[in-house]
Structure formats: C-alpha cells, structure tokens
C-alpha cells in the first residue's frame, strides 16, 4: 500500500539542496517505477510549492519534469496543466528538450544497469534478451523463417495470376 507524503515532506524533497540533479532524477524514477511517484491527487500532494504551481517558467517546468522522471503527463499534473499544453511549451524550448532527453538517457542507463545485474545473477531471460539486443553483431539473433501452410511453399495470389515462391 502507498504511503502518502504530506505537503511539507514533498516540499522538502523538491527543495533539498544536498541532492544533486542526478540523485533527484534517480530517486524519482525509482519512485515512479515502484508505484510511489507523482499521482493525480489534491493540490497539497503536488510536488511544487503552492505559490509556484501556476507559474510555468522554464525553471518550474524543468523542476516538474525532473520530479516526474521526464514523464510529461505526470509533470502536467504537478503544474496543473494539460499534457498537450506542456508538450508545446517543451517543444518551444531547446533547454527543456535537452533536459527531457537527458532524463530519458538517465532512465535508459538505469534500465541497462538492472539488466546487467540480472545477467550477472545468471537469469536466463535477461541473458537471452541481452544477447538478442546487444549481441547482434556477434550473430546472437532470432532467425524467423516464413513458410506457407504446414511448411509448404508460399503462395501469393494477385489479381493477374498466382505466383509460388520458395521460402
């Protein structure tokens, strides 16, 4: 069951000067992945301090994006706007586009490190996935063969005739 934070706890998390941007992104992403991230709730549960909620400066949008782990729909809840309007604001700012891309790359790094951990634990699905996606240059790919019914030749029917083709 989710533990709901108080507004003061949320403000403390947002304004923690001892936490670096990477630490903040990492923590928020972990919270989102575990189901503890931003959610649609009353204004007191939002992550930005009350007076800044309606101000949509690049700084507040940046803070909301970081708090939401780069997810525009979560950030829009934090800011009290629609995802469509927020996406437009992000597209208008090169700085916000870069920030969102950095957050995505950081999340990808986290996912890769989790995959590496599972590979080191010798978990077969993780090993298979890693080989098929990252080992393609060593021919670790799935081979898909397409045949006709019951393994027979493929038959293509066209309006001007029938063509048979060996698989």
- Residue 93 CB neighbour total at 10 angstroms: 14
In this predicted structure, what is the pLDDT of residue 117?
94
In this predicted structure, what is the pLDDT of residue 100?
92
In this predicted structure, what is the pLDDT of residue 28?
64
- Per run of 10 residues, the mean pLDDT along the chain (length 167 residues) is 52 58 64 57 41 64 87 86 91 92 91 93 93 87 80 78 58
In this predicted structure, what is the pLDDT of residue 121?
96
> CA–CA separation, 70 vs 119, rounded Å?
27
In this predicted structure, what is the pLDDT of residue 148?
80
In this predicted structure, what is the pLDDT of residue 140?
84
Enter the tokens of residue 59: 């700084």
Half-sphere exposure (CA, 13 Å, Cβ side) for 74?
23
- State the SS3 of the chain: CCCCCCHHHHHHHHCCCCCCHHHHHHHHHHHHHCCCCCCCCCHHHCCCCHHHCCCCCHHHHHHHHHHCCCCHHHHHHHHCCCHHHHHHHHHHCHHHHHHHHHHHHHHHHHHHHHHHHHHHCCCHHHHHHHHHHHCHHHCCCCCCCCCCHHHCCEEEEECCEEEEECC
Helix 83-92 crosses helix 94-120 at what angle (to 10 degrees)? 110
What pTM value is reported for the model? 0.52
> For residues 167 and 153, is the Cβ–Cβ distance under 8 A?
yes
What is the greatest pairwise CA distance in the chain? 74
In this predicted structure, what is the pLDDT of residue 51?
43
């Amino acid at each position: 069951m989710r533990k709901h934070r108080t507004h003061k706890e949320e403000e403390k998390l947002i304004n923690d000067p001892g936490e670096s941007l990477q630490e903040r992104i990492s923590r928020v992403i972990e919270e989102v992945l575990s189901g503890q991230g931003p959610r649609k709730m009353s204004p007191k549960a939002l992550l930005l301090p009350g007076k800044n909620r309606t101000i949509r400066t690049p700084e507040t949008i940046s803070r909301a994006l970081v708090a939401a782990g780069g997810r525009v729909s979560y950030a829009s809840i934090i800011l009290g706007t629609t995802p469509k309007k927020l996406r437009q604001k992000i597209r208008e700012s090169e700085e916000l586009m870069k920030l969102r891309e950095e957050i995505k790359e950081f999340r990808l790094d986290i996912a890769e490190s989790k995959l590496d951990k599972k590979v080191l634990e010798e978990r077969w699905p993780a090993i298979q996935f890693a080989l098929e996606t990252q080992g393609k240059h060593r021919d670790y790919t799935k081979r898909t063969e397409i045949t006709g019914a019951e393994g027979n030749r493929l038959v293509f029917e066209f309006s001007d005739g029938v063509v048979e083709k060996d698989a």
